[in-house]
Structure 1
Amino acid sequence: MGTPAFACTILQRLLNENCQVVGVVSQPDKKVGRKQLLQMTPVKELALANQLPVLQPVSIKTEYTDILAWNPDLIITCAYGQIIPDIVLNTPVYGSINVHASLLPKLRGGAPIHKAIINGDKESGISIMRMVKKMDAGAVMAQRKVIIEPQDTTGSLSDKLSLAGADLLMECIPLILNGTAVFREQDEAAATFAYNISKEEEKITFTEDVQEVYNHIRGLIPAPIGYAILNQKKMKFHRVRMKRQPHAYQPGEMIGMMDGGYAIAASNGFILVDELQLEGKNKVDAKAYFNGSGRNDIGKIMQ
């Protein structure tokens, strides 16, 4: 049971290891883009490519009878996106487990990778846990740490975590099946939460320390992508670096080219934008932007 690309790595590993996947459950397809074309979830695409049956309940709380009809021995979830009812969780002989992208009880919720980077954490990881009705609160069987590098984005960290999750899962499944798996309850007092990114959180503020601004921007790459307002239009930041350096510029002031990127002033340093996107335009690199409107934007203040 999963929805985004992150979960595809898990499904693919199960198939590679010749696990008998009797069915796949994913979120309903969504309309995307200006033309509002219906797009399959990445997990559904992978499932159909491997001739696996797929169910996409709008609400799994009431639409679960077809899942029960598969009579699964074990349910594995990874970034599925709905709260699964007890009648489904309790059906398999070996229970239901979840591959979660944090070191629980830290960062329960739907955006643990985004928030780990935004928070400036030095490490993240994978937790294999028993599924319960409460969000990411089940007993944990195994964990594996993954270092967050200074240049990591949500995209690059997702790739590392999905591979670590697939590896750890394949170590855990035999222990679950032979009855030697040990699950330990989480410390509720230590729980923190990583709720899905809100529209308000996509807005970048340059008044904070340059490290915090940098963390915020790279935590939103490759999606949903952070932005600020210039000339009353959005500028989205697709690839950035940071440079810590004292200066007398105003926060958000457009500086021009610096070390190969387009510099924007933050507290105690600069954000060097390597790739950006102006509202209604395609993505461009820093030099192309500077040679276009960017030269005239020097001295303006990002809002």
Structure 2
Amino acid sequence: MKYRIVFFGTSDFAQHILNNLLSEHQVICVVTQPDKPHGRSKKLVPSPVKEFALNKNIDVLTPLRVSGIEDDLKALKADFFVVAVYGKYLPQEILDLPEYTTLNVHPSLLPKYRGPSPVLAAILNGDKETGNTIMIISTKMDAGSILSQSRIPISPADTTQTLTKNLSEDGSNLLLKTINDFKNLVPNPQEESQATYTKIINKEDGHINWNKKADKIEREIRAFYPWPLAFTFWQEVRLNVLKAEVSDKTLEAGKVMIENGDLYIGTKSFALKILEIQPAGKNPMNSKDFINGYRSINESQLT
């Protein structure tokens, strides 16, 4: 059966979910966040979901508050509302509008990692697997009853960027299966005692503390890619550390060593071998190219 769906979403993750949803159902409207200023020019830029929807000739709404478009949504007579990384609160009167229910695609194995940064949290904590949850939305954040879940492995090389892509592909398929089998599914309440929460990430979270252990910092480098990026300072130069691996060498925390053409930085445990780095205003470069241009960094202390 082909259902009429209103889709709420904003990010690249949501855009992939929307694209797959169109393969089997009719998306009659998209609700996304308003255009936001970007870069130094502060030019207004649409969300990935808005740009995609307009290219597909789907009507788009960008309210400051969702309660302000209640009449518009009611008039659409949708079977389902589907929410994926939308970023705004939906009041109960909105959740109750569709014929069947309002579904949410959340990229974690709920009740673990409720909140805004579940993919990043899974990498930071060194998890071996994560997954997606399709739930019926409630007014409490990510606390609705679960209809379905799926699991995927986390690679030792995964960044938030690559893992988000994998989760969006997995979540897209899980959502279609859930909608198509909706009438046969029984919602399962979440176990509140098992709930954990993630936080909003800001730019300063990427500032590396070299007094942490090497494996923790290596996970931060992957978790904070592509934003806000893990970074440190050499004198007054910001260095974005894009890729690293734990070595068997030991150095004072924050101390730089160049040895046999390789770049190492000390931590609380073993030194990190830097594989890719980006000085402020420059393109990313491998460690050998960086050493050629910044050899005086040897034996310096990073902050």
**TM superposition score normalised by structure 2:** 0.93
4+ aligned runs moved over 4 Å, structure 1: none
Residue 261 of structure 1, CA deviation: 5.4
Structure 2, unaligned runs of 5 or more? 1-7
Q: Answer whether contact 2:147 2:187 (CA < 8 A) is retained.
A: yes
What aligned pairs does 1:197-216 form with structure 2 within 5 A after superposition? 197-216=201-220
Q: Answer whether contact 1:22 1:52 (CA < 8 A) is retained.
A: yes
Structure 1 residues 69, 262: closer, same or farther in 2, change over 3 A? farther
Q: Answer whether contact 1:99 1:128 (CA < 8 A) is retained.
A: yes
Quote the residue 2:241 is aligned against: 237
CA distance in 1, matches of 2:274, 2:49: 33
CA distance in 2, matches of 1:206, 1:264: 8
SS at match of 2:184: coil
Quote the residue 1:105 is aligned against: 111
Equivalent residue letter for 1:144: S
Q: Answer whether contact 2:247 2:273 (CA < 8 A) is retained.
A: no
Residue 187 of structure 1, CA deviation: 0.6
Residue 233 of structure 1, CA deviation: 2.9
| Seq. identity, % | 34
Residue 241 of structure 1, CA deviation: 2.5
Equivalent residue letter for 2:256: M
Residue 42 of structure 1, CA deviation: 0.5
SS at match of 2:65: coil
Quote the residue 2:14 is aligned against: 7
Task: Give the superposed CA RMSD.
Answer: 1.6
CA distance in 1, matches of 2:267, 2:71: 54
Quote the residue 1:155 is aligned against: 161
Quote the residue 2:296 is aligned against: 296
Q: Answer whether contact 1:204 1:228 (CA < 8 A) is retained.
A: yes
CA distance in 1, matches of 2:57, 2:43: 24
CA distance in 2, matches of 1:69, 1:57: 16
What aligned pairs does 1:77-96 form with structure 2 within 5 A after superposition? 77-96=83-102
Residue 274 of structure 1, CA deviation: 2.7
Q: Answer whether contact 1:242 1:269 (CA < 8 A) is retained.
A: no
Structure 1 residues 45, 159: closer, same or farther in 2, change over 3 A? same
CA distance in 1, matches of 2:192, 2:11: 28
**Could you tell which deviates more after superposition, 281-290 or 48-57?**
281-290
Residue 37 of structure 1, CA deviation: 1.7
Structure 1 residues 256, 96: closer, same or farther in 2, change over 3 A? same
Quote the residue 2:147 is aligned against: 141
CA distance in 1, matches of 2:70, 2:228: 31
Q: Answer whether contact 2:221 2:244 (CA < 8 A) is retained.
A: no
SS at match of 2:44: strand
CA distance in 2, matches of 1:41, 1:207: 38
Q: Answer whether contact 1:10 1:165 (CA < 8 A) is retained.
A: yes
Structure 1 residues 29, 190: closer, same or farther in 2, change over 3 A? same
Residue 256 of structure 1, CA deviation: 2.4
CA distance in 2, matches of 1:241, 1:202: 15
Equivalent residue letter for 1:9: H
Question: How big is each residue's C-alpha offset from its partner over 1:202-233, in whole Å with a ceiling of 9 and x where there is no partner?
Answer: 21111111110101111001112121121123
Equivalent residue pairs, number: 296
Residue 63 of structure 1, CA deviation: 4.1
Q: Answer whether contact 1:57 1:64 (CA < 8 A) is retained.
A: no
CA distance in 2, matches of 1:25, 1:187: 30
Structure 1, unaligned runs of 5 or more? none
Residue 132 of structure 1, CA deviation: 0.8
CA distance in 2, matches of 1:173, 1:257: 57
CA distance in 2, matches of 1:42, 1:261: 39
Equivalent residue letter for 2:84: C
